Amino acid sequence: MAFYYRIDSVMLERMLPNGEQQAGIYAQAFRLLDAANMIPLLFAGLLLPIFSSMLSRREDVIPLMKLSFNLLITPVVGLASFVFWYRQETIELLYHSHVNDSATILGLLMVSFVAISSTYIYGTLLTSNGNLKLLNYISLFSVVINVVLNFILIPKFGPVGAASASMVTQLAAAGLQLYLCYRILKVKVVLKDSFLQIIYLAVAITVPVVTHLYIGRLLYGFVVSVVVCFIAAIVLKRINFVVLLKILKQEEL
């Protein structure tokens, strides 16, 4: 996974005449993805022993899987959506050169961020369940897809092409892991929960668009987006404080 996660900048540097400069433009946006990625990574570190312990005791891990998905993906989608629509302002806040290119790259990488975050849940669950062979196949497939797309897109679009290749690769890997989890563990899709999830996604995507159009300023837009998304998450039961308190008290879910 680390190979197809970081190979883009290396290929940019090697394939383009001004590779070092183009890799630097890509790095301006990638640093933000790398920083945001620390939280889902820590989340996976907590889930691995919990999933392993539950599976060894033959306990049902599906409720925890769904709870983990809601707890992680709910803020991740809100953050990714906000940064996507405020990508220009975010890059301008940090850098003074190649702002437009880095902003475009950042928008694509934020889509990747959602997919990467989901792999920390489903990939961790598959690891705990002993499905390493399948995970290796997915990783190998992802490496091939990423390298092929980079060879095609980098000469034409430079760092934006590398970001596009990364986005497609991460979405494909996340989709395959999601499919395997639901198939292997025989997870039943609850229509009501799926409907509420779709509504929250619509809110999380729409609110930053509206704030960007009518408020504009980065700080004000961030505050409004956080408040509205937080309220939506509670109303739509994406965040369940009762279950969270049980976890903190180490009670059974």
Q: What is the per-residue pLDDT across 42-69, written as a single tens digit (0 to 9) for each?
A: 888 888 888 888 888 888 888 888 888 8
d(CA 99, CA 155): 21
Residue 108 pLDDT greater than 80, yes or no: yes
Q: Please check whether residue 107 lies inside any domain of the structure.
A: yes
The pLDDT score that the predictor gives to residue 251 is 44
Give the orientation angle of helix 99-128 with respect to helix 38-56, to 10 degrees.
10
d(CA 161, CA 15): 12
| Tens-place pLDDT, residues 72-87 | 899 999 999 999 999 9
Residue 248 pLDDT greater than 70, yes or no: no
- Average pLDDT, integer, range 136-151: 93
Residues near 229 by Cβ (< 8 Å), separated by ≥ 6? 74, 75, 78, 203, 204, 207
d(CA 158, CA 161): 5
Phi, psi for 57 (deg, rounded to 5): -95, 10
Q: Please check whether residue 197 lies inside any domain of the structure.
A: no
Q: Please check whether residue 68 lies inside any domain of the structure.
A: yes
Q: Please check whether residue 87 lies inside any domain of the structure.
A: yes
The pLDDT score that the predictor gives to residue 144 is 94
Q: Please check whether residue 220 lies inside any domain of the structure.
A: no
> For the chain, what is the mean pLDDT?
88
Q: Please check whether residue 201 lies inside any domain of the structure.
A: no
The pLDDT score that the predictor gives to residue 245 is 63
Q: Please check whether residue 227 lies inside any domain of the structure.
A: no
Please tell me the least confidently modeled range out of 112-116, 154-158, 212-216, 224-228: 212-216
Q: Please check whether residue 215 lies inside any domain of the structure.
A: no
Residue 246 pLDDT greater than 80, yes or no: no
Q: 161: which 2 tokens?
A: 């092409």
Assign 252 a pLDDT band (cuts: 50, 70, 90): very low
Domain of 16 in residue numbering reads as 2-191
* Higher-scoring residue by pLDDT: 19, 243: 19
Residue 97 pLDDT greater than 70, yes or no: yes
Number of domains in the chain: 1
The CB density around residue 173, as the number of other CB atoms within 10 Å, is 27
Residues near 213 by Cβ (< 8 Å), separated by ≥ 6? none
